[in-house]
Amino acid sequence: MDSAGSSYAIETINLTKIFPDWWGRPKVKAVVDLNLKVRYNEIYGFLGPNGSGKTTTIKMLLNLLHPTKGHAFVLGGRSTDPAIAARIGYLPEESYLYRYLTARETLDFYGRIFGLPASVRKSRIDTLLEMVGLAGLGSRRIGTYSKGMMRRIGLAQALINDPDLLILDEPTSGMDPIGTRQIKDLLLELARRGKTILLCSHLLADVEDVCDRIGIMYGGKMQVEGPVRELLQHRDELQILTGPLPPKAREEIESVVRREGSWCKITTPVDKLETFFVNIITKAQETQPTSGAKPGTGIQGFLAAQPASPSRAVLEQLVAKKPQPVSESSADRAKTEPTEAVPPSAPKKELLEHLTEKPVEKTVSAEAQTEKPSEPPAVPKPAVRQDILEKLLGGRKGPDGSTEQTRLPDSEERRDAE
Amino acid sequence: MRNSWVIAKNTIAQAVRMKVAAAVILLLLVLLPTMAWMLTGDGTLLGRLQSFSSYSISLVGFLLSVLTIAVSCYSLHSDLRTRTIDLVVTKPIVRYQIVLGKFLGAAGLNLFLLAGFSCMIYGLTTATPRFSKAPEDQIARARTEFFTARRVVAPQMSEEEISRRVEERIETLRKNRQLPDLPMSEIRATLWEQERIAQKSVEVAAVKEWDFQTVFPPKDPNSVLFVRYKFQATPEPPNQEVYGQWRVGDFRQFRTGLREYKTPVYGVERSESVRTLHTFTVPADATAADGAVTVGFFNSPERNFSTVIFDQMEVLYQVGGFGVNFFRVVLLMAIRLVFLAALGVSLSTWLSFPVAALFSLMVFFAGLINGFILESIEGLGAVLGLVYRFTIRWFLYAIPRFDGPYSPTDYLVSGEVLSWAFLGKAVLITLAVQMVLLLAIGIWIFSRREIAKITV
């Protein structure tokens, strides 16, 4: 089947993988008739317990395994096609890196395979090392790195080619909470820049924070699939966040709610442990040196670096939005996926301003927090630098003064924009 | 090709940093100068040069061959075992470029080391006469027999003559009803061997002549012709020595009864030990203009009472210099390393490191004695011969030869020229056919294998 011109960044058709035993007899059905569809410009969370077939699926997408049956298409073609492979960034479940190379040599090695010119390689390596917080450790051999540092370099190599599609298998595995937060910020920013991301993770909170849609695998089959918010939303409950209130006001609120025939529970919100941890470490980093990984500049550092000409032009090209197919080709997509693609040529300035002002963890909606302790809306973000972000966005205005926006806004964003 | 070079550079970095290459480099850096100092051979300058060149070339060839096998078998296997290959194959690279890159890396590293150590051996060898304080005659001998490139000419063995004699003897035996009750082929083979030995034998008071063709020494009046030979004697002489009277020249002048000789015929008398390689020289003008020259040996009854059997008889003359010949010898060694690199990489596409390395070592050692095995096994009995013909023989023919004319040391030790034609033949057979076939098989396997395959 020819999948050229497909509207999906990833598409599998009845994808099946059966592992044989030593005698070649079929033994384990790792993936069974999987029909996975990941649209362009979305972050898709690929979930499931151990042995559910997630990694096997990814390996079939990347031709590391041959399907027993079915087809797998990536970016409208096969990943064996070098032109397609050049647009993919892959981070495997473990950092399979050459331990005898330094971080800088590692990135240079992969940059060379992608055919990047020397000046582009150098500037990208510098910015990527800075971004993943290993700027001062680029000359150390990978073999001396901790697991978390290896993950950071693994992520950097996945981004060296400025990929259109990122396939990340457990990207935050082995990383500290700050690194995890930075990765999540990075994914959101990349998605905002028009990248498609297939995120495979066991850490459900991470997936919930960044993914537009999720699919849950079990026993090699897709059990459920859909937009995160739709799947998690408590449609018969509401959550109201307020500032401090005197006891009398609280009683009045409770009485109003009861009068309307509903129930009410008023509690004091608590931080997520991740937020608390990040705050403590952020303060410590201001005063205390460390020999380990340092906080990176986040995606802004990667995208907004201003190298000397001519590499600047290449970086400009790097951040430039790539046209993505937005046409609808299958009827089921219209049925199950309410989020429609926004043509890149119709950016909304108000929406962009709103996006840059709101907290980065945009997927943590009020509705989604009803079953867990509430979180204050303003969380300090050590990695997000508004000035760079504004500079970045301000430098890419459209003819009408609006800033280019390539990521598809979700329903809440559209509502806010209106 | 760009991607193959990227992989090749990474392979070299891996080999250098895995310390095996460093160990080999260090070992050779220490051993080569030590050998140049310690090895004295038979005490003469020529012996010293021959010992050093023989051992140093052998040592460098052996260690680099083992290193080539280690690097080529380990590199791809290591990538597969540590799964680093997972990341590489998902990049815009075709799998044949990975196999080619691994091959280029393993071969490139070892060729670089070969070039470096060859320069070192060349420098030490050419510097030896200056520092040895050898007498002038020894230096002159070293110049004519070692720092030279000589073409070797073997005598024409008349197989037609042997066949005729064999048939005559069979006819005689048949007439006398003395033919043994054996297959005719076996009788013919035995008689052939007897006649072949008879052709090499010189009985007491007999004369033996060896005719050589296409001997064209330089026109230089100082150029010489080398006669090199080895013999044994039966019965064994008490002092292990044989006295010989030699004549070298165009014997056709005797045979046709010319009164005036156009070219001189030189006489040499020598008493020499058995089972040792000997050489004497005569002026090169003993050769006829058409390149014919004959060497005659008279087994004098006055001082000898043994039949002399010549195992080796050849004539040599200078055709080139030491430097170019040394370069060609290094190229011959390079061919071996390049083949081993292709073998190791090809095997590691589907075998684990220990198995691939063991198989490569087996091929390497079999190649070192390939010619000997082929010659010795040819004489097997009927049943064993059949088994051999359809099994081992094909394997031995499939792998390259590293011994006999493919051994680099012999050329330097004996100052023999390694011709470009022979080098071209080696390149054609070993690289263009055997190596390309191996790489093609490796690429075919690697392109089709599941990189992340698991068996449950």
Give percent of chain A above pLDDT 90. 29
Q: How far is B350 from chain A (nearest CA, A)?
A: 15
Beta strands in B235-382 (DSSP E): 241-249, 266-273, 278-283, 293-298, 307-320
Please give the backbone phi and psi of residue B223, each rounded to the nearest 5 degrees, phi first: -70, 150
Higher local confidence (pLDDT), A51 or A56: A56
pLDDT of residue A355: 27
User: What distance in Å separates the CA atoms of residue B373 and residue B396, rounded to the nearest whole number?
Assistant: 8
Higher local confidence (pLDDT), A120 or A269: A120
Determine which of A82-86, A199-203, A296-300, A321-325 has the lowest per-residue pLDDT on average: A321-325
Domains of chain A in start order, with CATH, are 1-232+267-418 (3.40.50.300)
pLDDT of residue A360: 34
pLDDT of residue A418: 39
pLDDT of residue A165: 94
Q: Write the pLDDT tens digit of every residue in A248-268.
A: 998 899 899 888 888 888 888
Are B150 and B415 in contact by the 8 Å Cβ rule? The answer is yes
pLDDT of residue B91: 94
pLDDT of residue A291: 58
Higher local confidence (pLDDT), A33 or A397: A33
DSSP one-letter string for A273-313 = HHHHHHHHHHHHHTT---SS-----HHHHHHS--PPTTHHH
∠ at Cα B418 (B415, B424), nearest 5°?
A: 175
**Spatial CA neighbour of B76 closest among B445, B366, B437:** B445
pLDDT of residue B259: 67
Please give the backbone phi and psi of residue A72, each rounded to the nearest 5 degrees, phi first: -130, 125
pLDDT of residue B456: 62
Are A211 and A199 in contact by the 8 Å Cβ rule? The answer is yes
Residue A131, both tokens = 């971004």
- Chain A residues within 8 A (CB-CB) of chain B? 19-22, 27-28, 59, 62-66, 79, 82-83, 85-86, 88, 90, 92, 94, 96-101, 105, 109-110, 112-115, 157
Region B415-420: mean pLDDT is: 92
**How high does pLDDT run on average in chain A?**
72
Res A222 pLDDT > 70: yes
pLDDT band for position A5 (cuts 50, 70, 90): low
Chain A interface, best mutation among B87, B95, B97, B454, by max A CB count within 10 A: B87
Helix H segments across B82-154? 84-89, 95-132, 136-145
Count chain A–chain B contacts defined by CB atoms under 8 A. Answer: 81
Q: Which residues pair with A11 in a beta bridge?
A: A37, A73
Does pTM top 0.90 for this prediction?
A: no
Predicted ipTM? 0.78
pLDDT band for position B273 (cuts 50, 70, 90): very high
Question: CA-nearest residue of chain B to A105?
Answer: B10
Question: CA-nearest residue of chain B to A59?
Answer: B452
Res A313 pLDDT > 50: no
User: What distance in Å separates the CA atoms of residue A186 and residue A299, rounded to the nearest whole number?
Assistant: 5
Res B118 pLDDT > 80: yes
Region A266-277: mean pLDDT is: 76
pLDDT of residue A107: 95
Cis preceding-peptide flag for A246 (omega within 30 of 0): no
Q: Write the pLDDT tens digit of every residue in A91-149.
A: 998 889 999 999 999 999 999 999 999 999 999 999 999 888 888 888 999 999 988 88
Q: Write the pLDDT tens digit of every residue in A146-188.
A: 888 898 899 999 999 999 999 999 888 878 788 888 888 888 9
Residues of chain B found within 8 Å of residue A28, distances taken between Cβ atoms: 456
pLDDT band for position A371 (cuts 50, 70, 90): very low
Contacts of B254 (CB under 8 A, 6+ apart): none
Amino acid at B33: P
Res A379 pLDDT > 70: no
Query: How are beta strands A8-20 and B307-320 bridged, if at all?
Result: unpaired
Contacts of A247 (CB under 8 A, 6+ apart): none
B87/A85 touch (CB, cutoff 8 Å), yes or no: no
User: What distance in Å separates the CA atoms of residue A307 and residue A292, rounded to the nearest whole number?
Assistant: 26
Residues of chain A found within 8 Å of residue B81, distances taken between Cβ atoms: none
pLDDT band for position B255 (cuts 50, 70, 90): confident
pLDDT of residue B267: 93
Q: Write the pLDDT tens digit of every residue in B275-324.
A: 998 999 999 999 999 999 999 999 988 888 899 999 899 999 999 899 99
Are B75 and B81 in contact by the 8 Å Cβ rule? The answer is no
Question: CA-nearest residue of chain B to A98?
Answer: B84
Q: How far is B324 from chain A (nearest CA, A)?
A: 39
Q: Of B3, B86, B456, which is closest to A96 when you measure between CB atoms?
A: B86
Residue B444, both tokens = 């075919």
Residues of chain A found within 8 Å of residue B98, distances taken between Cβ atoms: none
Which secondary-structure segment (H or E) carries B386?
helix B382-390
Res A334 pLDDT > 80: no
∠ at Cα B72 (B71, B75), nearest 5°?
A: 70
Region B369-395: mean pLDDT is: 71
C-alpha distances in Å from residue B315, one per residue of B37, B149, B155, B175, B202: 33, 13, 8, 42, 19
- Please state which CATH number belongs to domain B201-320: 2.60.120
B90/A88 touch (CB, cutoff 8 Å), yes or no: yes
Residues of chain A found within 8 Å of residue B18, distances taken between Cβ atoms: 100
Residues of chain A found within 8 Å of residue B17, distances taken between Cβ atoms: 100
**Spatial CA neighbour of A131 closest among A295, A368, A340:** A295
pLDDT of residue A199: 93
Does any CB of chain A come closer than 8 Å to the CB of residue B82? yes
pLDDT of residue A333: 36
pLDDT band for position A196 (cuts 50, 70, 90): very high
B456/A28 touch (CB, cutoff 8 Å), yes or no: yes
Residue B211, both tokens = 């005719």
Residues of chain B found within 8 Å of residue A156, distances taken between Cβ atoms: none
Does any CB of chain A come closer than 8 Å to the CB of residue B454? yes
Does any CB of chain A come closer than 8 Å to the CB of residue B92? yes
User: What distance in Å separates the CA atoms of residue B28 and residue B60, rounded to the nearest whole number?
Assistant: 7
Higher local confidence (pLDDT), B441 or A239: B441
pLDDT band for position A356 (cuts 50, 70, 90): very low
Q: Of B6, B10, B455, which is closest to A20 when you measure between CB atoms?
A: B455
Sequence length of chain B is: 456
Q: Write the pLDDT tens digit of every residue in B432-447.
A: 899 999 999 999 999 9
Is residue A229 classed as helix, strand or coil in its secondary structure? helix
Chain B interface, best mutation among A22, A28, A88, A100, by max B CB count within 10 A: A100
Higher local confidence (pLDDT), A281 or B38: B38
pLDDT of residue B111: 96
Chain B interface, best mutation among A18, A84, A98, A153, by max B CB count within 10 A: A98
Amino acid at A16: T
pLDDT of residue A341: 30
Higher local confidence (pLDDT), A33 or A415: A33
Query: Which residue has tokens 């019965």?
Result: B235
**Domain range list for chain B:** 2-148+328-448, 201-320
Region B150-171: mean pLDDT is: 86
**How high does pLDDT run on average in chain B?**
89
Q: Of A21, A79, A105, which is closest to B90 when you measure between CB atoms?
A: A79
Give percent of chain B above pLDDT 90. 56
User: What distance in Å separates the CA atoms of residue B330 and residue B324, rounded to the nearest whole number?
Assistant: 10
Res B422 pLDDT > 70: yes
* CA atoms lying within 13 Å on the CB side of residue A234: 12
Determine which of A247-251, A382-386, B35-39 has the lowest per-residue pLDDT on average: A382-386
Region A323-340: mean pLDDT is: 36
How crowded is residue A291: how many other Cβ atoms within 10 Å of its Cβ? 7
Residue B216, both tokens = 């064209």
B450/A65 touch (CB, cutoff 8 Å), yes or no: yes
